[in-house]
Structure 1
Protein backbone atom coordinates (compact mmCIF):
# COMPACT_ATOMS: atom_id res chain seq x y z
CA UNK A 1 0.00 0.00 0.00
CA UNK A 2 1.16 3.49 -0.81
CA UNK A 3 0.19 6.59 1.15
CA UNK A 4 0.05 10.09 -0.35
CA UNK A 5 -1.25 13.42 0.95
CA UNK A 6 -2.65 15.81 -1.64
CA UNK A 7 -3.41 19.51 -1.25
CA UNK A 8 -6.97 20.07 -2.46
CA UNK A 9 -8.72 23.41 -2.91
CA UNK A 10 -12.46 24.04 -2.71
CA UNK A 11 -13.37 21.79 0.23
CA UNK A 12 -15.41 23.41 2.99
CA UNK A 13 -18.09 21.11 4.43
CA UNK A 14 -19.27 17.59 5.23
CA UNK A 15 -20.60 17.22 1.68
CA UNK A 16 -17.06 17.79 0.38
CA UNK A 17 -15.73 15.11 2.72
CA UNK A 18 -18.40 12.61 1.63
CA UNK A 19 -17.88 13.34 -2.07
CA UNK A 20 -14.13 12.86 -2.01
CA UNK A 21 -14.06 9.91 0.39
CA UNK A 22 -16.82 8.24 -1.65
CA UNK A 23 -14.90 8.75 -4.88
CA UNK A 24 -11.82 7.18 -3.31
CA UNK A 25 -13.85 4.20 -2.13
CA UNK A 26 -15.21 3.68 -5.66
CA UNK A 27 -11.63 3.50 -6.93
CA UNK A 28 -10.70 0.96 -4.29
CA UNK A 29 -8.63 3.41 -2.25
CA UNK A 30 -9.12 4.79 1.24
CA UNK A 31 -9.30 8.58 1.46
CA UNK A 32 -9.30 10.75 4.57
CA UNK A 33 -10.19 14.43 4.17
CA UNK A 34 -8.77 17.08 6.52
CA UNK A 35 -10.84 20.23 5.96
CA UNK A 36 -8.76 22.33 8.36
CA UNK A 37 -5.56 21.72 6.39
CA UNK A 38 -7.17 21.38 2.96
CA UNK A 39 -5.65 17.96 2.39
CA UNK A 40 -6.71 14.48 1.37
CA UNK A 41 -4.63 11.53 2.54
CA UNK A 42 -5.05 8.47 0.37
CA UNK A 43 -3.97 4.87 0.95
CA UNK A 44 -3.97 2.86 -2.28
CA UNK A 45 -2.45 -0.13 -4.03
CA UNK A 46 -0.12 1.07 -6.80
CA UNK A 47 -0.69 -2.18 -8.68
CA UNK A 48 -4.38 -1.31 -9.12
CA UNK A 49 -4.66 2.49 -9.01
CA UNK A 50 -2.48 5.31 -10.33
CA UNK A 51 -1.94 8.64 -8.63
CA UNK A 52 -3.29 10.33 -11.76
CA UNK A 53 -6.53 8.33 -11.44
CA UNK A 54 -6.87 9.50 -7.83
CA UNK A 55 -6.32 13.14 -8.78
CA UNK A 56 -8.79 12.83 -11.66
CA UNK A 57 -11.45 11.32 -9.38
CA UNK A 58 -11.08 14.22 -6.94
CA UNK A 59 -11.26 16.79 -9.71
CA UNK A 60 -14.36 15.11 -11.17
CA UNK A 61 -16.06 15.88 -7.84
CA UNK A 62 -15.43 19.61 -8.49
CA UNK A 63 -12.26 20.20 -6.46
CA UNK A 64 -8.75 21.25 -7.53
CA UNK A 65 -5.68 19.21 -6.69
CA UNK A 66 -2.69 21.54 -6.40
Structure 2
Protein backbone atom coordinates (compact mmCIF):
# COMPACT_ATOMS: atom_id res chain seq x y z
CA UNK A 1 0.00 0.00 0.00
CA UNK A 2 1.29 3.45 -0.82
CA UNK A 3 0.40 7.04 -0.09
CA UNK A 4 0.99 10.15 -2.14
CA UNK A 5 1.55 13.65 -0.81
CA UNK A 6 2.33 16.99 -2.40
CA UNK A 7 4.50 19.22 -0.23
CA UNK A 8 5.01 22.94 -0.72
CA UNK A 9 8.76 23.52 -0.56
CA UNK A 10 10.62 26.83 -0.71
CA UNK A 11 14.18 27.43 -1.81
CA UNK A 12 14.28 25.42 -5.04
CA UNK A 13 15.55 27.65 -7.87
CA UNK A 14 16.50 25.33 -10.76
CA UNK A 15 16.75 21.82 -12.15
CA UNK A 16 19.77 21.19 -9.95
CA UNK A 17 17.65 21.88 -6.89
CA UNK A 18 14.99 19.48 -8.19
CA UNK A 19 17.63 16.80 -8.72
CA UNK A 20 19.05 17.38 -5.24
CA UNK A 21 15.65 16.91 -3.58
CA UNK A 22 14.61 13.89 -5.65
CA UNK A 23 18.03 12.31 -5.13
CA UNK A 24 17.89 12.70 -1.35
CA UNK A 25 14.37 11.30 -1.21
CA UNK A 26 15.28 8.45 -3.56
CA UNK A 27 17.88 7.26 -1.04
CA UNK A 28 15.23 6.68 1.62
CA UNK A 29 13.83 3.19 2.15
CA UNK A 30 10.09 3.40 1.64
CA UNK A 31 10.06 6.24 -0.90
CA UNK A 32 8.64 4.84 -4.12
CA UNK A 33 9.03 7.99 -6.24
CA UNK A 34 9.60 11.70 -5.87
CA UNK A 35 9.10 14.54 -8.33
CA UNK A 36 10.20 18.07 -7.52
CA UNK A 37 9.15 21.23 -9.34
CA UNK A 38 11.21 24.36 -8.78
CA UNK A 39 8.70 26.36 -10.82
CA UNK A 40 5.74 25.19 -8.73
CA UNK A 41 7.76 24.99 -5.50
CA UNK A 42 6.29 21.53 -4.84
CA UNK A 43 7.52 18.00 -4.26
CA UNK A 44 5.23 15.04 -4.92
CA UNK A 45 6.23 11.94 -2.99
CA UNK A 46 4.79 8.44 -3.29
CA UNK A 47 5.80 6.36 -0.29
CA UNK A 48 5.03 3.27 1.76
CA UNK A 49 3.77 4.51 5.16
CA UNK A 50 4.63 1.15 6.72
CA UNK A 51 8.32 1.80 5.98
CA UNK A 52 8.71 5.57 6.29
CA UNK A 53 6.90 8.45 7.95
CA UNK A 54 6.05 11.83 6.50
CA UNK A 55 8.20 13.41 9.22
CA UNK A 56 11.30 11.59 7.93
CA UNK A 57 10.52 12.73 4.38
CA UNK A 58 10.20 16.34 5.56
CA UNK A 59 13.47 16.04 7.51
CA UNK A 60 15.27 14.76 4.41
CA UNK A 61 14.06 17.77 2.40
CA UNK A 62 15.23 20.08 5.19
CA UNK A 63 18.61 18.29 5.32
CA UNK A 64 18.95 18.96 1.58
CA UNK A 65 18.64 22.69 2.34
CA UNK A 66 15.00 23.43 1.55
CA UNK A 67 11.96 24.31 3.67
CA UNK A 68 8.68 22.42 3.73
CA UNK A 69 6.04 25.08 4.33
CA UNK A 70 2.88 22.92 4.27
CA UNK A 71 1.41 19.57 3.34
Q: How many residues align?
A: 66
When structure 1 is superposed on structure 2, of 39-48 and 13-22 the one drifting more is 13-22
Alignment pair present for 1:50 and 2:60: no
Give the structure 1 partner of residue 40 of structure 2.
37
Give the structure 2 partner of residue 15 of structure 1.
16
When structure 1 is superposed on structure 2, of 49-58 and 27-36 the one drifting more is 27-36
* CA offsets 1:17-61 (integer angstroms, 9 cap, x no match): 111000111013111011221000000000001000000000000
| TM-score between both structures, scaled by the size of structure 2 | 0.88
Q: Secondary structure at the match of 2:19?
A: helix
Which runs of 5 or more residues in structure 2 are unaligned? none
| C-alpha separation in 1, matches of 2:12 and 2:37 | 9
| TM-score between both structures, scaled by the size of structure 1 | 0.95
